Amino acid sequence: MDKGLYTKREDGRKMAEVRPMNAKVGIVPSADGSASFETGNTKAIAVVRGPRTLHPQHMQNAQTGILRVSYGMMPFSVSDRIRPGPNRRSEEISKVSEWALSSVIDLREFPNTVVDVFIQIPQADAGTRVAGLNAAALALAHAGIPMKEMISAIGVGKIDKTLVVDLDKYEDSEYHDGEGSTDIPVVVTSRTKEIALLQLDGKISIPEFKETIEMAKKACGDILKVQMDALKNVTEEQDE
Amino acid sequence: MGKEKRQIVIPGETIVSGNEFLPGDGVYRDGADVVAGRYGIADVTEKHVRVVPISGAYYPRRGNTIIGTIVDITFNGWLIDFGGAQNAFLPVSEVPRYINKNEMREFLDFGESVIVKVWDVKSRGVDVSMKMRGFGKIDGGMIISVGPHKVPRIIGKEGSMIKLIKGATGCDVTVGQNGKVWISGKDSDGEIATKKIIEFIAENITLVGLTEKVENFIKNMGFKSNKVEIIKENTDEDSVEGDKE
């Protein structure tokens, strides 16, 4: 089979290798839960507030609490300044992140309340929505929100004819040779290994697509380890 | 509290396997596995499994002592903000004296603080009472916020830490399980000193041998760390119970 043009990654990683990761919880002490998650040069922070009474009142649900996610990139996160405030892209990512996180959390204990998740990207190098989701899952766990399981997120894709994991900015948006690049963010749950979010724009064949999903599931296993370490190594109170 | 197995678990993690185990708070069953439903410390006592929270917001439980502020007055009671998901409701019938419903503000006005006991936790809100001894309106002193997960350490084993602080500074200290502490003394110097000691405990919650370090801290502040039992009776007997059921 034709190997295509992209035979070697520009940063020297293996095709299925995730960028170096770093995760931390409790970065905002005044919040109910908070976390940061970094992959390579992409950094995400997530802060959770709530459950708290939801206003306006007409949005309240008497059967369950609701989740509200807000994603945003900081103006200085990329080399061109981003105009602060909501835009089409950030609204979309907020919404899909909300759906992905809703599938694992359970707020039935807290009717008429809201749990707010704020995701901010201080530094972007592609894969910000998956980094944001990894941070948000950590922050929700840290906030003690009832969750069936954790989620881990990864971007997989195809560059020309090569399947890769965790695309960086160059691979995601600056590589245009051959067939160009396709990016698929995938969210995998920790226990049942189900898919909580999958987005795709670009072209990919069905066998290749199936293969990328397997690669994503494998990479999410590694991410989950990083998330677990972050949550388990907190030096919070433990009565001896 | 059982000491059989204590470890930090994350949501979705299997704590134990076997049909004989009973899932308790923060835990659910998935087939034969007993799985953590929230982040915290797994506590397996005999066959009962639960997850004790170590971070996050305060969730009220029956019997808790909480310190809050009056945010609303309805026709038959007061609404109290205590830092939880919903406000607590204090009915007129649950205060220790007769209240004329037209003069409710005379007894408790907006912005005033109270120490109350959680009577019932429903999905719609929390009912509280101040009918027992040690509960009531807060008059004077200061309220500091330390966070709900530091409360057991500030109280200490059977109230030891509180007794230490009270003995040294002569101030009255009442700890609410919602992470608020009321300090009341004869003068503000003593209250500020007490506040510093409590903040020291809150910052150093992970230290081993914290009691000794607090004793030293108190000595360095110029107080005698006398372990004299205080004659004045503890006003918060009920709050001296960490996180037991």
Distance between CA atoms of residues A73 and B160, nearest Å: 49
Tell whether A57 is within 8 A of chain B (Cβ).
no
CATH 2.40.50.100 domain residues, chain B:
6-52
Using CA of residue A104, residue A109, residue A114, residue A118, what is the dihedral sign? negative
Residues in A touching B81 (Cβ below 8 Å) = none
The confidence band for B5, taking pLDDT boundaries of 50, 70 and 90, is low
Q: Classify B98 as helix, strand or coil.
A: coil
Q: Using a CB–CB cutoff of 8 Å, tell me whether A123 touches chain B.
A: no
Is B211 an 8 Å CB contact of chain A?
A: no
CA distances from B134 to B87, B158, B177, B236 (A): 21, 17, 15, 6
Was domain B65-137 assigned CATH 2.40.50.140?
Answer: yes
Domains present along chain A, CATH in parentheses: 21-229 (3.30.230.70)
The residue count for chain A: 240
Domain with CATH 2.40.50.140 in chain B: 65-137
**Residue type for B237, please?**
E
Return the pLDDT at B241. 42
Query: Taking a C-beta distance cutoff of 8 angstroms, is the pair A75, A83 a contact?
Result: yes
Contact (CB<8Å) B38/A228: no
Angle between helices A206-232 and A128-142 (to 10 degrees): 40
Q: What is the pLDDT of residue B240?
A: 42
B199-245 pLDDT, tens digit each = 999 888 877 788 888 888 888 887 765 544 444 444 444 444 444 33
Q: How far is the alpha carbon of B83 from chain A, nearest alpha carbon, in Å?
A: 9
Residue B141 touches chain A, beta carbons under 8 Å? no
Q: No. of H helices and E strands in chain A? A: 4, 9
CATH topology assigned to domain B6-52: OB fold (Dihydrolipoamide Acetyltransferase, E2P) (2.40.50)
Question: How far is B206 from chain A, CA to nearest CA, in Å?
Answer: 5
Which 3 state secondary structure label does DSSP give B117? Answer: strand
Token readout for A144 is: 């003690």
Q: Is A54 on the interface with B (CB under 8 A)?
A: no
**Comparing A13-27, B188-202, B225-239, which segment has the lowest mean pLDDT?**
B225-239
Mean pLDDT, range B40-66, rounded to an integer: 90
**Mutation target among A192, A237, A240 for the B interface, most CBs of B within 10 A:** A237
Q: Please tell me if residue A112 touches chain B, with a CB cutoff of 8 Å.
A: yes
A107 Cα to chain B: minimum distance (Å)? 11
Give the pLDDT confidence of B115-173 residue by residue, as tens digits: 999 999 887 789 999 998 889 999 989 999 988 888 988 888 888 899 999 888 889 99
CATH of domain B142-230: 3.30.1370.10
The string of DSSP letters for A154-203 reads EEEEEETTEEEES--HIIIII--STT-EEEEEEEEETTT--EEEE--BS-
